Structure 1
Amino acid sequence: MSLKDKIRYFQFTHTGRVREHNEDAVFADMEVGLVVLADGMGGYNAGEVAAELAIKTVADMVRTGVERETRTSVDDSSGLMRQSIVLRNAIIRANKIIWQTAQTQPQCRGMGTTIAAILFHDDRVSIAHVGDSRVYRLRKNRFEQLTLDHSLMQELVDRGFFSHDEALRSTNRNYVTRALGVEPTVDADVQEETVKPDDIYLLCSDGLSDMVEEEDIHLTISTFSANLQTGGEQLVQLANANGGRDNISVCLAQVTESFAEARGLVGRLKGWLG
């Protein structure tokens, strides 16, 4: 089932006001319901190469995997749907390719990238991430972060050394503890959520989340929920107005109607013939 008519989508990426070039990459394929954002890591060589490799690998593997998995069902002991497993395996494969490239290409040694990806299917969304690129959801008036940063500061918050507000003010919050391409293997956090019409999903690099308060992100998306093109542009402008110290990337996906899979033989026949 193509989701092009079920989800309204916009993406934005900007170099910012300080960096000389953009190491972020964004991608979407609404035929299969995939959105991916990668942030080539500052301080690493060839971060933009790592980000592009991550995007290409995940996109290719998810397309192939979704075509193969025509039915939504539980596939492993974790209880994850097959689409989530496809997404997780694609990210693990991307890590391997980036790592191997860094080992064989001297100009790419030490490169890495964060990644955040969502895959819509059967009125659900699979969410996967590595690093501190984030996924948020606006449902009615509730705005919440669905991912948990893989960062030193988040670990300190989890252990009670800092409060959430103190972490937001810290100058050391960008040290990530997990990224693609830095080690030969990586664990990707994967979760699944039920999707409802009018949900808005935001993927962003830390160039947005570090420069704009969550309350202001919430207010901007709520204000421009009927015009997400303008809303995304406003978020980028806010990040730049607050200093634009990093590349800024924003992906916005708004669910416009149900995309539940047809059940039973009659439903599947309708889908094949329709």
Structure 2
Amino acid sequence: MKVKACIYTDVGQTRNINQDSALVKVANTRNHGRISFVAVCDGMGGLSRGEVASCKAIRTLESWFHEELSLMQNMSESELWDAIESSFVRMISRINGDLRRYGKHRGLQLGTTLTALLQIGNKYMSVNVGDSRLYAIKSREVVRLTRDQSLVQDKIDKGMITESQAINDQEKSVLLQCIGTSHAPVPEVKRGTIEGNTTIIACSDGFWRTLSAEDMRTKLCPQMCITDADMLDQCKKLANLAISRNEEDNISVAAMCLEM
């Protein structure tokens, strides 16, 4: 398998600090071939030190990939995925506790979203807390892999508003869960299969809010991702498109094109 990857982030038009953090890791393993990991964390703009929260979460994810995940490499496939899921949930609880203690000792309240996907062979596991998103982009379709843990998503699910109305909803930034402010956030964990060449992206709400699935497909389908530099250029174009549509938040996307 070939993996091309990039990260693009922009502070945006109105923010002084970029509170987003992102990660892409690719490794060759003896028992499972090439594996890859992508994540984005969006620090809470309405709270203090959101950039600290998102950076702490990403650094913990990076350490997990290099250390804890490597200890699971000798497991059988069935054992491996169950162990990874348990490990994911424990890690999120650990990050949440660390951020709560950090804030308590300094008189701060800080939090972050977290969305991540681990690929091993043609299978993946995703984990999500908050309203950052994961998408799988193919030549002819875009599949959203996560469900926002937000008030507007709850309204959409209940038929109170439409997807288009959600963009301008006054409560669009209200999360039902995030890491750092909840006693025990419950992550959305999913498993799935990747079939054929696919671009996986993790992105903050500043990226996805004003962009359509077709915008993403046109720029980031596997055929457009010839090199890492091509991918980075396409991500930059999408970020600039979001800015041109008056997106005011930080904008971040981590992308990896998997050639199966």
TM-score when normalising by structure 2: 0.88
Q: Deviations over 1:49-82 (max 9, x none)?
A: 0001111112212322211111344459xxx532
Q: Distance in 2 between matches of 1:57 and 1:185?
A: 17
32, 35, 40: which is aligned to 2:38?
35
Alpha-carbon spacing, 1:168–1:73, altered in 2? closer, same or farther (3 Å): same
Check the 8 A contact 1:130/1:179 in 2, yes or no. Answer: yes
Check the 8 A contact 1:119/1:125 in 2, yes or no. Answer: yes
| Aligned AA (1:13) | T
Hey, what does 1:62 align to over in structure 2?
A: 65
Check the 8 A contact 1:136/1:203 in 2, yes or no. Answer: yes
Check the 8 A contact 1:83/1:119 in 2, yes or no. Answer: no
Q: Deviations over 1:72-117 (max 9, x none)?
A: 44459xxx532233233222221111111111122xx111000111
Unpaired stretches in structure 2, ≥5 consecutive residues = 28-34
Hey, what does 1:225 align to over in structure 2?
A: 225
Percent sequence identity is 24
Unpaired stretches in structure 1, ≥5 consecutive residues = 258-274
Check the 8 A contact 2:138/2:217 in 1, yes or no. Answer: no
Check the 8 A contact 2:20/2:252 in 1, yes or no. Answer: yes
Q: Distance in 1 between matches of 2:216 and 2:138?
A: 14
State the Cα distance separating 1:158 from its structure 2 match.
1.3
Q: Distance in 2 between matches of 1:72 and 1:85?
A: 15
Check the 8 A contact 1:151/1:178 in 2, yes or no. Answer: yes
Q: How does 1:148-159 map to 2 (within 5 A)?
A: 148-159=147-158
Q: How does 1:123-162 map to 2 (within 5 A)?
A: 123-162=122-161
Q: Distance in 1 between matches of 2:165 and 2:218?
A: 22
Hey, what does 1:248 align to over in structure 2?
A: 251
| Aligned AA (1:212) | L
State the Cα distance separating 1:171 from its structure 2 match.
3.7
Check the 8 A contact 1:114/1:132 in 2, yes or no. Answer: yes
The secondary structure found in structure 2 opposite 1:116 is: strand
The secondary structure found in structure 2 opposite 1:113 is: coil
49, 54, 57: which is aligned to 1:51?
54
Hey, what does 1:192 align to over in structure 2?
A: 191
Hey, what does 2:98 align to over in structure 1?
A: 97
State the Cα distance separating 1:169 from its structure 2 match.
4.3
Check the 8 A contact 1:72/1:122 in 2, yes or no. Answer: no
Q: Distance in 2 between matches of 1:168 and 1:144?
A: 19
State the Cα distance separating 1:163 from its structure 2 match.
2.6
Q: Deviations over 1:170-204 (max 9, x none)?
A: 34222111000002221111111112331111111
The secondary structure found in structure 1 opposite 2:38 is: strand
| Aligned AA (1:63) | H
Hey, what does 1:22 align to over in structure 2?
A: 18
| Aligned AA (1:210) | R
Query: What is the count of residue pairs matched by the alignment?
Result: 248
The secondary structure found in structure 2 opposite 1:66 is: helix
| Aligned AA (2:18) | N
